[in-house]
Every structure is written in C-alpha cells, then in structure tokens.
Structure 1
Amino acid sequence: MKHLRPSFFIIGERKCGTSSLYRYLVAHPQVLPCKVKEPDLFSKPWYKIALGFRNYKKLFPAVDESGNIEFIWPELDEKGQLFNETITVERQEGVNYITGEASVNTFYYANPRILNRLLPGIKIILMLREPAERAFSHYRMHERFRKEGRKSMAKTDFVTDIRLEMKKVQQGEDSLFLGPSIYMKKLPKWLNIFGRDRLFVIRSEDLQQPEKAVGIMEQLFDYLQITEFDLREMLNQRFNVAPPKQMPEDIREELQAFFAPYNQQLNEFLGLHLY
C-alpha cells in the first residue's frame, strides 16, 4: 500500500506552540494528519532511522484510502495532567491532500542532511519563542515528569538548576533547558541544507495574537501551496498548554541578559528583529 509522503515537517522547537500549530494545519481541508503527532524518528541515531523508516512511512495516510482518518493526540487537562485523545479528520474524495508531522526534538537533535535525503522536497516549519520563557516552560514540563514518576532532569528548583546551567554553558558545555533556546546553535545547519525558501520561521508570540495569526496562517498556506482557509475561530484555541505560572522576576532578568548576545546573533543572521 502506497502512503502519502509528508510535505511539511514542524521540526520544533519544544514548548513553542507546535501543538497548536499542528492542530490549526490539520483543520485545513487539504491536510491529513500523521497517526501520531511526534513519531520522533529523525532525532535518533542514523542506524535506527534506517531501520525505522519503512514503518515511519506507514504512519501517514494511504494514497487511495477512503473514510475518516484517526490520529492520537496528547493533551494536557486543566490540572496539567497528560492524557491521549483520538481525533477524527474527515477525508473527502477528489481532494489533493498533503500530510506532515511535528516531532519537536528534530530541530535540536536531528541531522538535517539525513532528513532532506530521505524526504526530498519536504518543507520545514520552525517555531521560536522568547528564549527565557521557552526554557521556563521546558523546565516546568520536567517538573510534571517528576511528579508523574517519569524520567526528569528537574533536580531541585528552576532558579537553582538554571543558574547551574548558565555556568555550564559559559564553560562550553551543553545544557538541557538553555541549549534549545540558543537557536543559533542549530539554525545555520538547517538553513544551509534547506535554504530560506524551504524553512518557514514563526514566532510563538505572534501566533498567540489572533489578528497576526490570521496573516501567518495565510502565508503558511501559501508556503505549503494549499488553498486559503478561514481559521479565525480556531485560532483562539490553544492545545497542550500547561496551567499558567509566572517566572520569578530576578531569574527572568538574569536569563534575558544571558540570552541577549545570542538573540542579537539570531536577528543579524536572519535579518529580522525577533527577540
């Protein structure tokens, strides 16, 4: 059975609103979902990618398949507890469909050359978020892991652990929570492989503003070469969002100063004013 080849890939970054973006895209009448939002294949070692690629392709809808498409969606309830729900997407006859996925570990851990070789022509979507807020949200996710008895890198508390990570980065070491917010560590290699014409960058903050979000989605539909579609009502919804919590102001100021030179590099590299 032949399956649709993915046309787009939301590569990350984590805690930047990729879940909401994926749900917005899947709401478009020309977009069909992967069976799971995050197959997380390309962040693995190359030999595991080679072994798993055949099964990976089967996660996408069959070309000649009829009937509705179901996919498993991880969501957070109002208490921040994770649960899975099954979402059904109606499939119509005679529609020129595309499909894609959103494994958000990909930006930081994957080799873009391998992804481009196995999925030639695929279009990349990258979401960014204010770096300090992204790191804080990432840490909170690991706090939830710890409460659930899962593997967690949240050892003590945010302020203590993050200050230790800042020291590690200054010593040239990698870090779990700060590293993914230093976007210039990974962006050049992605841009080198895919170029600006196949890498669409979105600020999470813009997608949270309905009027800006409308324009972003219009540009994204054009980038993916699918028809215009009005998503205004859905753009007010957020998916997989933890209950709100404020970052301590003193550590926020420290982090903003820490990220400032990296943000300047990012802005100069892209010719944009992002952060």
Structure 2
Amino acid sequence: MTSIGCSLPLPCWHRPCIGHRRVTLTQKDWLPRNARTIPPTVTGERPGIVDVPEKAWIACSAASAERFEVPIRRVSAVQPGCTSPLPAHTQFLCEATPLRSSLPSRAKPDFFIVGAPKCGTTALTHYLATHPDVFMAPKELHAFGADLQFGRQFYRRDLRNYLAEFASRNGERCAGEASVWYLFSEQAAAEIKQFNPESRIIIMLRNPAEMLYSLYYQFRFDGNEHLPTFEEALAAEPERRAGRLIGRRSYFARGLLYRETARYAGQVRRYLEAFGREQVLVLLYDQFSANPAAAYCRTLDFLGVDSTHLDVPFKVINASRRIRNRALNALLTEPLLRRIVLQLRPCVPRFLFRALREADARLRQRNTVFQQRPPMPGALRARLKREFGSEVERLSELLDRDLTYWTS
C-alpha cells in the first residue's frame, strides 16, 4: 500500500458511483505524466481510503513538483517504473485539498438554478440567456449531487468537461447553470457551497400536486416513466422504493418516488442553511407564469445585473408535449446505444461530440408535438392537497410566506 498525505474528502464530481477528487501527492515520480484514468471511489474516515476500481488509472498534470495537485478524473495507480495498473481494489491513502483554491473565479459559475422540476426553470434559463451580462451554460449538467444516481445513459460531466461548458464566457458579469435535481439532492447544496461559497442560488417552487402531475408527463415523454397513468405511478411508489416496477429506459429511478420530490421544506432549508437567506432567491411558479417580466427583473436584481434590459419575448417555454413517432423515440432513448456513445466520449473530439448532441436535440425536437395534457382528476387533486397540507404549512413558515392556498 502506497501512502500519500491525507486530509478531507471533497464533493463528488462523478458519473454514477464514481468520484472525482483533487489529491496532494508526496512522491513526484509516483505517477506517469498525463496517464489516462477513470476515477477511484473514496471510502472510509480520515485519512480516507481510496479503493481503486478495476482498470483504474490516475492522470497527473504536473509530474515535476515535489508536491503537486492531481485532478482525479481518470487517475492511475501505477507504481514508479510500472507501465500497467495495479490490481483492482488496491488501496492507498490520499489527501484532498479544497478544489476551489486552484480554480480562477472567472472559470466557475456564479449562480445556480437548482429546481424544482416543472417549476419554470427552463423558461427562466431561456430568458436569462438573452441578457448581455448573463452567460448560461447548457441546462441539466448535474455536476453536483453525489447522491443523485442517474443511469449510465445519462451524461454527467467530470470537472474538466463541466468547466469547459463555461469556456465561451466572454465578458459577461455572471455565469450560471440550471439543473433541476440539485434541490432534491441531499448533498448538492454542500458541494456547491464548497465549490463556490459566493454562489447565488435560485429556487423555483410550484403547487406540489400540479408539479407532480406535470413531472409524470415529462417522465412519460422522455422515457423515465412507463406506467400508463399518474394514479398507477403514485400507487407504485412502495414497490419502486424496493427497486421494482422500474422501466428499462428509466434514467433516474429515484425521481419516480414522486411524493419525495415535492417535500420542499427540507430541500429549501438545506440551501438556506448552507448559503444564508441573502444568497437565496425563491420564486413561485404561480407568480412567474402570471408576470414573467416582474420575476425576470427580480432575478436580474438578485444577480446584480441591469434589470432594465427587458428586450426578451416572454413566450411559453417547455410546454406539455407528446411523441410524434414512437419508433424514432425508442431509438433516441435506447439505453444501450446512449451508454455506448458516452463510453466513446473520451475518444471523440469535443466539437464532434457537441455536434452529435445538437443533432440528437434536433431529432427530438422534430419528433415532438405540443399539446395540452388532460386535466387531473378532481378526486386525485383533492387527495394530494390533503397529503401535502402539513408540508406546505412547514414551507410557509420557513419562507415566511403564506402558501396554504396551494392546498385549500
């Protein structure tokens, strides 16, 4: 076992079950220069044991210093003089140092739209992207949230590729991204705080019953949900909590526990405790949809940019949709095909991978028909209002805002 000095683990930059951390090594010749790797999994208490998975490699960027930082993206566990990786599950000690210490402030986002899903985040992202002082990265990067276990067909960027999404920032006063499951994550708030303590957080909330109904149809559209009715999906939650009744194309099984996604009070509290109320803006979908210009101006003021810039068409974004051709949709959402593409990602030039993503988006758009979803059955709506009554009361108290009209 090779020892390296040790400190405290960092937030997890990962694809499912894989961590990305920055460690300080004490042996300058311990690793080969520019070795290609996949990240190890960090377990245990301080000093921390790194369990190197099968075929793990460690990449180092500066092998000349006596002590240097290595971003463990694809990091190798190669001993001095060796040209092959150590056996699977070789253990060694590591030291984590604050990731933010080595990143220039302009290379990082300044604000995050963290959710909740189906609460207007896509529209707000679209509106903000039109402002000359705001740079918006592509939506749903989900670089934070170590506890968010997406399927392998879901593309989660490592640190280098995540920051590359902000590389085209060109003089804008602030940069941000929107990933709707950050709010649901139990770890994302702390991870974002450690990444950039000065971050501003935007939270968008909606009547729980309406949000869940809209989320069900979104999941039906993108393949995460296969049950034919919302009532069946709600009834299946106990089975799904046990890992059953999850479709083959599902990319985020935990999101199928619908009621958990609308437990807003605890989710919002995590961000208020991590960042303080002055760094958190809470917008309500009701007010946002009724007067998007006012909510937009309020957001610009919160971000510290010119709020008189209103040259933006406040049109409906991300309306209810259905699939035009199910055979084409089955091909575009085929998990095996998407996993193969993502496995080839390190071998594909960035511009080509971006072109493939854009082509995929165009095909999906052409295969989409916008139409109103059917109204929620009245009895089901009334039941959900009763279920979420106490939750809405807790949220009202937390925000010092009366939201009980959601459940009245």
TM-score (norm 1): 0.75
* Residue equivalent to 2:182: 106
Check if 1:199 corresponds to 2:284: no
Match of 1:155 among 214, 227, 231: 227
Give the CA deviation at 1:61: 3.2
Check if 1:182 corresponds to 2:288: no
- Structure 2 gap ranges (5+): 1-102, 149-156, 242-253, 321-370
* Residue equivalent to 1:33: 136
Give the CA deviation at 1:241: 1.5
* Residue equivalent to 1:72: none
* Residue equivalent to 1:84: none
- Larger radius of gyration, structure 1 or 2? 2
Asked whether the 8 Å contact 2:127–2:312 carries over to 1, the reply is: no
Q: Deviations over 1:41-94 (max 9, x none)?
A: 112359xxxx9223211110346x5xxxxxxxxxxxxxxxxxxxxxxxxxxxxx
- Structure 1 gap ranges (5+): 66-94
* Residue equivalent to 2:146: 44
SS in 1 for 2:257: coil
Asked whether the 8 Å contact 2:136–2:176 carries over to 1, the reply is: yes
* In 2: Cα distance, 1:178 partner to 1:221 partner: 32
TM-score (norm 2): 0.52
Which residue identity lines up with residue 265 of structure 1 in the other structure?
R
* In 1: Cα distance, 2:115 partner to 2:136 partner: 17
* In 2: Cα distance, 1:17 partner to 1:192 partner: 24
Give the CA deviation at 1:155: 2.4
SS in 1 for 2:379: helix
* In 2: Cα distance, 1:143 partner to 1:55 partner: 29
Give the CA deviation at 1:105: 1.0
Check if 1:56 corresponds to 2:133: no
* In 1: Cα distance, 2:225 partner to 2:398 partner: 31
* In 1: Cα distance, 2:198 partner to 2:394 partner: 28
Going from structure 1 to structure 2, the CA distance change for 1:45 and 1:259 (only over 3 Å counts) comes to closer
Which residue identity lines up with residue 225 of structure 1 in the other structure?
G
Whose helix proportion is higher, 1 or 2?
1
Higher relative contact order (CA 8 A, sep 6+): 1
* Residue equivalent to 2:297: 218
Give the CA deviation at 1:260: 0.9
Give the CA deviation at 1:29: 1.4
Which residue identity lines up with residue 221 of structure 2 in the other structure?
R
| Identity level (%) | 26
Give the CA deviation at 1:108: 0.5
Where does 1:17-32 land on structure 2 (aligned, <5 Å)? 17-32=120-135
Which residue identity lines up with residue 228 of structure 1 in the other structure?
S
Asked whether the 8 Å contact 1:30–1:226 carries over to 2, the reply is: yes
* In 2: Cα distance, 1:101 partner to 1:125 partner: 10
* In 1: Cα distance, 2:261 partner to 2:160 partner: 29
Which residue identity lines up with residue 112 of structure 2 in the other structure?
F
* Residue equivalent to 2:387: 258
Q: May I ask how many residue pairs the two structures share in their alignment?
A: 229
